[in-house]
A and B are shown apart, each in its own frame.
Chain A
Amino acid sequence: MKDLYLIFRNLTRKPLRLFLTLFATFIAFMIFGTLTAFQEAFDSGVDLAADDRLVVVNKINFTQPLPISYVARVSALEDVDAVTHLNWFGGYYQEPKNQMAMFAVDAENFLKVYDELIITDEERTAWLANRQGLIAGKAIAERFGWKKGQRIPVNSNIFSQRDGRTDWDFDVVAIYTGAETQTDTNSVYFHYPYFNETQSFGGNFIGFMGVRTTTPDLNESVIKQIDEMFVNSPAETETVPEKAFNKAFIEQIGNLGLILTSVVLAAFFVILVIVGNSMVLSIRERTGEIGVMKTLGFTSMRIFRMVLAESMLLALIGGSLGIVAAIGMVGLANQAPFQLPPLIVGGSLWGKALAYMLLLGLITGIVPAVSALRMNIITALSRN
């Protein structure tokens, strides 16, 4: 029988209290795990953005269009490697609730600028050859059960065809995957010419441009050149690095980081009070037993370590169960019928969670452990 056995027996001596304390810790870490997965997913939009990629939008608002003629002028700049343009299509599949991030793009350049979307050379050739072809991300294809080669109808809640229809027919020519685990595969891309020639709102406008520079060091210079090129025109531009664009886009929802951190902190504070109180009570009830153990020859430091280990173990068990539950929640969220960035409970989240578990165990255990350390044998036995 080692100390671990004594710690375990002490921990399990009151099953109801153990269950409630574990449950409280479990809930806190499940909230932490799930919300952090969300936060990391949103942050990944910023983190995974390419350093050498810029976004050019209308200076009034990014929902305002730009003339397509801008693409050629930006492409002509010396330090620009590739330019593509994207139009938000407002597409949905079968029912309006099945909204998608769907863009009409300049296919050839699009794959150069957004090279983190992985398709084979054959698929690339097939897409370029098929005017009605679209490429769909793995996540959205799984969501709707799309297969390569399938013909699908997609409606737009913004655009209509010249004959009044709001549905377009597409061929799924490729299901793309992401270069990174957290690369978004919830989007759909199709040919701009198909969009431009069939929609009824007039033509030759684009939503925004994606620009790849020859090196990130030249970003500032390219930004300046682009915006100066269109100054005092009817559609002035605002060019920003993609990271900044994504960050600003996410911040439209609010300060997500602050909201998530506040919720997690509140959960941890409650848990700190509950578990801390439970540990203090538990050790107070054992005053006599601690006195007996010291009398038998257990040193104060050994008992200190055992009490601290008990609270650590409690936090580790409850916390780990919470993170496992968070993995389940995240798995469910990833299958939910609404679009979310890929949610992952990865190594860094486990690392953070482990650090918080140990911290929680330390904070909740230190007071009773010190009290056990200082406990005088005679006083302890007289309270028995």
Chain B
Amino acid sequence: MTQDILFDLKGVSKKFVKGKETITVFENLDMSIARGDFLAIMGPSGSGKTTLLNLLGGVDQPTSGQITFDGGRVDTLSENQLAAWRANNIGFIFQFYNLMPMLNASRNVELPLLLTRLGSKQRKKNVATALELVGLSDRAKHSPREMSGGQQQRVAIARALVSDPKLLLCDEPTGDLDRETADEILGMLQLLNEKHGKTIIMVTHDPAAAKYARRTLHLDKGKFVEKELAA
């Protein structure tokens, strides 16, 4: 069966120049991610997980190689084109939620919709749907500081989902949460993947979190060292 490839990385290298030293994070990395996949990327600190996530999220560009998303090249886009690409295709979920402290939950969720041409009414409707999906309709007017970590992360998930992106990129989404809340959030991601068909790439240190994914890739010193299917 041929897979519907969403993300394709071919011969991707990433190097950083630090003073006189050149640090190679990846060298000729190949990787494919199918539409509808839920991929966990694990690895020790410094293995290149975050750099890979930055490349996949279009917040950084490879030194060489090709990155193709949904059939189109990403590595050749300009800064402004990349911004538009991110707004249209990627939903980001961060470890520390990164909500805007001066905006309430619904305004935070609305943020990505400001990058669309949707009118105020439609935006409000979409925000309400996203908040309902994460079970926070009753907290719409609450500010982030009035919410627990788990609730804030659910708002962040709603923000990532509201513009209906093709891909969710999660950077340690449960790294700041207790086990119970973490399971709740991971369950929600799993649901989004299984029920709503969202493609999810999640970077995590936590093997328990990785178990929620369909498959896990282990990254070490810029190379995938082992590939296995999640249980």
Query: Interface of A with B (CB < 8 Å)?
Result: 1-3, 5-6, 9-10, 12-13, 288-289, 292-301, 377-378, 381, 384
Contacts and interface: CB of A to CB of B under 8 A. Distances in A.
B59 interface: yes
Contacts of A298: 83, 114-115
A297 B86 contact: yes
A84 B64 CA distance: 92
A300 B79 contact: yes
Contact of B96 (A9, A299, A384): A384
Contacts of A13: 101-102
Interface residues of B, number: 28
B94 interface: yes
Contacts of A295: 57, 59, 86, 92
A297 B84 contact: yes
A296 B102 contact: no
A338 to B, nearest CB: 49
B79 A296 contact: no
A216 B72 CA distance: 79
B114 A2 contact: yes
A299 B98 contact: no
B94 A292 contact: yes
11 contacts: A9-B103, A10-B102, A13-B101, A289-B98, A289-B100, A292-B92, A292-B94, A292-B98, A298-B114, A298-B115, A299-B79
Contacts of B110: 1
A178 to B, nearest CB: 52
Contact of B123 (A1, A301, A381): A1
Interface in B16-49: none
Nearest to A11: B102
B7 to A, nearest CB: 17
Interface string B90-126: 0010101010111100010011101100001001000
B111 A9 contact: no
A10 B107 CA distance: 13
B201 interface: no
Contact of B114 (A3, A12, A377, A378): A3
B68 to A, nearest CB: 20
Contact of B115 (A296, A301, A381): A296
Contacts of B107: 1, 5, 9
Interface string B62-82: 000000000000000001100
B161 interface: no
A110 B79 CA distance: 76
A27 to B, nearest CB: 27
Given A3-B114, A378-B59, A378-B60, A294 B98 contact: no
A296 B112 contact: yes
Given A2-B114, A378-B59, A378-B60, A296 B101 contact: no
Max count, chain B CB within 10 A of own CB: residue among A9, A296, A298, A378: A296
Nearest to A13: B102
B115 A297 contact: yes
Nearest to A288: B98
A295 B58 CA distance: 8
Contacts of B101: 13, 289
B190 interface: no
B87 interface: yes
Given A5-B107, A292-B100, A378-B54, 5 more contacts: A9-B107, A294-B83, A296-B92, A297-B88, A381-B59
Max count, chain A CB within 10 A of own CB: residue among B101, B112, B114: B114
Contacts of B57: 295
Nearest to B59: A377
Nearest to A9: B102
A72 to B, nearest CB: 80
B80 A299 contact: yes
Q: Lowest 4 CB-CB distances: which A-B pairs, in order?
A: A297-B87, A13-B102, A9-B102, A292-B98
A212 B102 CA distance: 68
Contacts of B59: 294-295, 377-378, 381
Contacts of B112: 296-297
Contacts of A1: 107, 110, 114, 120, 123
Contacts of A2: 114
Nearest to A3: B114
Interface string B152-174: 00000001000000000000000
A233 B111 CA distance: 87
Contacts of A293: 111
Interface in B193-229: none
A10 B87 CA distance: 22
A301 B83 CA distance: 11
Max count, chain B CB within 10 A of own CB: residue among A6, A295, A300: A295
Nearest to A296: B112
A297 B89 CA distance: 10
Nearest to A5: B107
A296 B87 contact: yes
